Chain A
Amino acid sequence: MRTRATRKSLLLATALAGGLALTACGGGGFDSSGGSGGGDGEGSSADGPVTLNMLIASSGDAETQAVQDAVKKWGDESGNTVKVTVASDMNQELAQGFAGGNPPDVFYLDASQFANYASNGSLYAYGDQVDNVDDFYESLRSTFTFDDQLQCVPKDVSTIALEINTDSWKKAGLTDADIPTDWDSLASVAEKLTTGDQVGLAIGPGIDRAGAFVVENGGWWLNEDNTEGAAEDPSVLDALQYVQDNLTKGSFAMSSDLDTGWGGEAFGTGKAAMTIEGNWIKGAMTSDYPDVKYTVAPMPEGPAGKGTLLFTQCWGVAAQSKAQSQAVDLVNFLTTDEQQLAFSDAFGVMPSRQSAAGDYESKYPEDKAFIEGADYGHGPITAPGMDQVIADLNSKLEDFKGADLASVVKSFDTNADAALGQ
């Protein structure tokens, strides 16, 4: 009796499991069309008015509203509709879209994620269909080039520069003539600005700030072809050493050591008289620290001349999108000079087209240092597999002052070689 019941229940369980597997496979959750598509040739174009899905990572209401206004304008002109979704966790939601075989047609794509999506064929390379594509800053174009194809165009550009608290500056007896132009003068004004409760210069952790000194010293983390690490080169090591020496002296400090989340917070709260941050600091200063008066100077020149870092995102178009030509049309609309300047007005980003730089500068003269940096800045690392390697480097540089720089760059090179050799 008992054994028969057990056997029966076993049978039932097996049947159930089988049924489950069948329903799961038959359901619409996974379609197998993911393998097709690629980045070549003309885009697929659906007939008639289409609905495009757009996924963005918004910095706030101002940005969301500006994007919504812009796509509505395009929709009214072209007869299509665009549904804008704001992601709360961009990486995760984008990855889910692609894994589920139902990615958004148009989306923000961060430079750090670019290589992952480009290398697995998720992106529709539409660079050749963009109006006047050479107008985009060269270093931005090379950031988003994969397999010799421009995969997606930069949405906007941000650069980092030197922010100076004018009150502290005057209090230390410094004048406009003292604004640092090279490493030595930066070190000396930082020393003069350092008081009991204020350091001269606060730097955010990681290579996204200190890396500017590497560029100014003529170095870069990878070799020119992005095939292997080049951080053991003296040009990189000396730049890091310069930062470390000043940290040891106490006139520079990492923002995390000042118990702040980023350079802007250290600067705004008066824990530092200068900081190195990007043009996004403007918004934070107006909303969080409206009383702090400051000016922005270009990054002081290094031994190899001017240098800064560029940060950017691009407008990705999914290879699986059923309305690629409409999506590209939308991107073309969103990256015109006019539209980019409208975004600048709305939420303070800088245009990624060189032709718009003049208009931007005359409109926002206080941003001169930032927009000029776009001409000579270095874009982020976008080689595939480097995400993890950079994260490791950043974690080793968290304690910048105590780090053994020679061994840090050595292990970076080893890891980079392994990642790029794959």
Chain B
Amino acid sequence: MTTTQTGEEAAATQPPHRDRAPRRTGNSLNRQTRSGWLFVTPMLVLLGLFLVLPILMALWVSVSDWSGRGSPFSGNVGFVGPDNYQPLLSEPGLSRQDFMLSLRNTFYYVVGVVPLQTVLALLLAVIVNQRFLKGRTFFRTAFYFPSVVSSVAISLVFLYLFTGTGAVNQALDAVGINGPTWFADSRGLIHLLGNSLGLWNIDSPPSALADHQVLGLSWWDWLAGPSVALSAIMMQVVWTTAGTFMLMFLAALQDLPADVEEAAMVDGATKSNVFRYVTVPHLRPTILLVVTLGVIGTWQVFDQMYVMTQGGPAKTTLTPAYLSYQAAFNQQHWGQGAAIAFLLFALILVLTSAQRWFLRDKDEWARKQALRRQRRRQREEAAA
């Protein structure tokens, strides 16, 4: 500020008059609430119309016998209760077998993709965040690039990369490895691993595993691991999504004050210690966000299956989202398709809540618990 302030400027920088303050706060709160609602109304209408309402409609379809003709709310569509859910969960048969297969596939898919993409994203973010790295902007753009390209286009490219005579196999060939026919190979990785370790023979599974069934699948099937075809898709997804999550980590890293790191260094912490005890704890909320988004996104995987494999080979890339689509649009089992969607929703809800609990800030949580205990004691004392 210069010392030659005009009267107006000085008035503008002065705080509002004390005695008018309360009345204005009351008015503006009301006005603020009103205009707040005004501003969110378009979004509420859009969300309600295109998200909440369709979800409620789908919920109704999942408990109805709608056959796909006309409105699901017309008079001749009946309520059937859990009839669409039972074939998926409790009745032995093809529907349950397929649903369980899709859960198995997606479980391995999530377990493979989420940690990999989180670690890769963090790694890329740390690299790009180096202040002395040349061409930072280039790398940032390059790493983020796969995320902006449509997943369908990328899927098609990968389809060519991973054909039996494609670029990937030619590269493997150059180093003396005979690559598999990726998208036609339904063998599970755990099966293959056990086979090469001599634990079992993949062509004649041990009867202890093959002869006992849980929920329509034998133990041998449950323990297959991701198939070679699914692994190829997993690689693609890790590659595409790591860029998006890198951006989130990057934003969080730039929030980390440099002096904190410097202070740690001055205190004698090594680089890896700074990373472990300063950077990562600072990133905890971002890690939680990335892992949560990752889990939700991977459980809902659909595009890649729709474009590349249609659930094959041997149903090893079947996922709940794709199965739901198939049940509804190809088999006209609309109720069952909707039921699969809601089971998937419930599963994701449970998993993300569990994960929030596991990744919670333990100090913060302990503090809250202590506070609650204290309040309870005070209340008891007051009562006594």
Interface residues of chain A, those whose CB is within 8 Å of chain B, are 1, 5, 8-9, 12-13, 16-17, 20-21, 23-25, 30-35, 91-92, 95, 98-99, 101, 113, 116-117, 120-122, 256-257, 259, 320, 385, 387-389, 392, 395-396, 398-399, 402, 415, 418-419
Contact yes or no, A32 B314, CB < 8 A: no
Given contact pairs A9-B33, A32-B70, enumerate 20 new A-B contacts (beta carbons under 8 Å). A12-B37, A25-B73, A30-B72, A32-B71, A32-B73, A33-B70, A92-B329, A95-B329, A99-B72, A116-B331, A117-B332, A121-B67, A256-B313, A259-B164, A259-B184, A392-B315, A395-B314, A396-B314, A398-B186, A415-B93
Q: A16-B44, A21-B53 are in contact. Are A387 and B330 (CB under 8 A)?
A: yes
B12: Cβ under 8 A from any A Cβ? no
**Shortest Cβ distance from residue A405 to the other chain B in the assembled complex, whole angstroms:** 15
**Shortest Cβ distance from residue B76 to the other chain A in the assembled complex, whole angstroms:** 4
**Shortest Cβ distance from residue B79 to the other chain A in the assembled complex, whole angstroms:** 16
Q: How many angstroms between the C-alpha atoms of A24 and B46 in the bound complex?
A: 12
Q: How many angstroms between the C-alpha atoms of A91 and B49 in the bound complex?
A: 26
Q: How many angstroms between the C-alpha atoms of A396 and B316 in the bound complex?
A: 11
Q: How many angstroms between the C-alpha atoms of A367 and B37 in the bound complex?
A: 71
B68: Cβ under 8 A from any A Cβ? yes
Contact yes or no, A91 B330, CB < 8 A: yes
13 A-B pairs within 8 Å (CB atoms) are namely A5-B29, A20-B49, A25-B73, A30-B72, A32-B74, A35-B75, A91-B329, A99-B334, A120-B67, A387-B331, A388-B331, A396-B314, A418-B94
Q: A20-B53, A24-B53 are in contact. Are A388 and B98 (CB under 8 A)?
A: yes
**Least CB separation from B313: chain A residue:** A398
Q: How many angstroms between the C-alpha atoms of A9 and B37 in the bound complex?
A: 8
Q: Closest 9 A-B residue pairs measured CB to CB? A: A34-B70, A259-B164, A120-B67, A30-B71, A116-B332, A32-B74, A35-B76, A20-B48, A256-B184
Contact with A along B180-203 (1 / 0, CB 8 A): 010010100000000000000001
Contact yes or no, B68 A395, CB < 8 A: no
Contact yes or no, B71 A34, CB < 8 A: yes
**Least CB separation from A25: chain B residue:** B73
Contact with A along B78-101 (1 / 0, CB 8 A): 000000000000000111011000
Contact yes or no, A395 B315, CB < 8 A: yes
Q: How many angstroms between the C-alpha atoms of A116 and B331 in the bound complex?
A: 7
Contact yes or no, A399 B331, CB < 8 A: no
B146: Cβ under 8 A from any A Cβ? no
Chain A residue numbers with a CB within 8 Å of B75 are 32, 35
Contact yes or no, B71 A31, CB < 8 A: yes
B300: Cβ under 8 A from any A Cβ? no
Q: How many angstroms between the C-alpha atoms of A415 and B91 in the bound complex?
A: 12
Q: How many angstroms between the C-alpha atoms of A261 and B315 in the bound complex?
A: 17
| B45-60 interface (Cβ within 8 A of A) | 45, 48-49, 52-53
Q: A21-B53, A95-B332 are in contact. Are A1 and B29 (CB under 8 A)?
A: yes
Chain B residue numbers with a CB within 8 Å of A122 are 68-69
Contact yes or no, B37 A99, CB < 8 A: no
Q: How many angstroms between the C-alpha atoms of A24 and B56 in the bound complex?
A: 12
Contact yes or no, A398 B94, CB < 8 A: no
B112: Cβ under 8 A from any A Cβ? no
B378: Cβ under 8 A from any A Cβ? no
**Partner among B45, B73, B94, B328 whose Cβ is within 8 Å of the Cβ of A388:** B94
Chain B residue numbers with a CB within 8 Å of A257 are 181, 184
B147: Cβ under 8 A from any A Cβ? no
**Shortest Cβ distance from residue A221 to the other chain B in the assembled complex, whole angstroms:** 15
Q: In the complex, which of the residues B72, B95, B331 has the most CB atoms of chain A within 10 Å of its own CB atom?
A: B331
Q: Main SS of chain A's interface residues?
A: helix
| B287-336 interface (Cβ within 8 A of A) | 311-315, 328-332, 334
**Least CB separation from B334: chain A residue:** A99
Q: In the complex, which of the residues B72, B163, B165, B184 has the most CB atoms of chain A within 10 Å of its own CB atom?
A: B184
Q: How many angstroms between the C-alpha atoms of A415 and B76 in the bound complex?
A: 29
Contact with A along B317-358 (1 / 0, CB 8 A): 000000000001111101000000000000000000000000
**Shortest Cβ distance from residue B232 to the other chain A in the assembled complex, whole angstroms:** 14
Contact yes or no, B74 A34, CB < 8 A: yes
**Least CB separation from B93: chain A residue:** A418
**Least CB separation from B70: chain A residue:** A34
| B108-146 interface (Cβ within 8 A of A) | none
Q: How many angstroms between the C-alpha atoms of A418 and B94 in the bound complex?
A: 9
**Shortest Cβ distance from residue B201 to the other chain A in the assembled complex, whole angstroms:** 12
| B345-375 interface (Cβ within 8 A of A) | none
Contact yes or no, A121 B163, CB < 8 A: no
**Shortest Cβ distance from residue A204 to the other chain B in the assembled complex, whole angstroms:** 13
Contact yes or no, B332 A120, CB < 8 A: yes
Q: How many angstroms between the C-alpha atoms of A99 and B338 in the bound complex?
A: 14
Q: How many angstroms between the C-alpha atoms of A9 and B34 in the bound complex?
A: 9
Q: How many angstroms between the C-alpha atoms of A389 and B37 in the bound complex?
A: 52
**Shortest Cβ distance from residue B24 to the other chain A in the assembled complex, whole angstroms:** 14
**Shortest Cβ distance from residue B60 to the other chain A in the assembled complex, whole angstroms:** 12
Chain B residue numbers with a CB within 8 Å of A16 are 41, 44-45, 48
Q: How many angstroms between the C-alpha atoms of A419 and B332 in the bound complex?
A: 14
**Shortest Cβ distance from residue A37 to the other chain B in the assembled complex, whole angstroms:** 9
Q: How many angstroms between the C-alpha atoms of A35 and B53 in the bound complex?
A: 23
Chain A residue numbers with a CB within 8 Å of B331 are 116, 385, 387-388
Q: In the complex, which of the residues A23, A92, A259, A320 has the most CB atoms of chain B within 10 Å of its own CB atom?
A: A259
| B210-259 interface (Cβ within 8 A of A) | none
Contact yes or no, B53 A5, CB < 8 A: no
Chain B residue numbers with a CB within 8 Å of A25 are 73
Q: How many angstroms between the C-alpha atoms of A98 and B37 in the bound complex?
A: 39
Chain A residue numbers with a CB within 8 Å of B165 are 259
**Partner among A17, A32, A98, A389 whose Cβ is within 8 Å of the Cβ of B48:** A17
Contact yes or no, A399 B314, CB < 8 A: yes
Contact yes or no, A99 B33, CB < 8 A: no
Chain B residue numbers with a CB within 8 Å of A13 are 44
Chain A residue numbers with a CB within 8 Å of B45 are 16, 20
Chain B residue numbers with a CB within 8 Å of A256 are 181, 184, 313
| B15-65 interface (Cβ within 8 A of A) | 26, 29, 33, 37, 41, 44-45, 48-49, 52-53
Chain A residue numbers with a CB within 8 Å of B328 are 95
**Shortest Cβ distance from residue A406 to the other chain B in the assembled complex, whole angstroms:** 15
**Shortest Cβ distance from residue B158 to the other chain A in the assembled complex, whole angstroms:** 16
Contact yes or no, A259 B41, CB < 8 A: no
Chain B residue numbers with a CB within 8 Å of A92 are 329
**Shortest Cβ distance from residue B149 to the other chain A in the assembled complex, whole angstroms:** 21
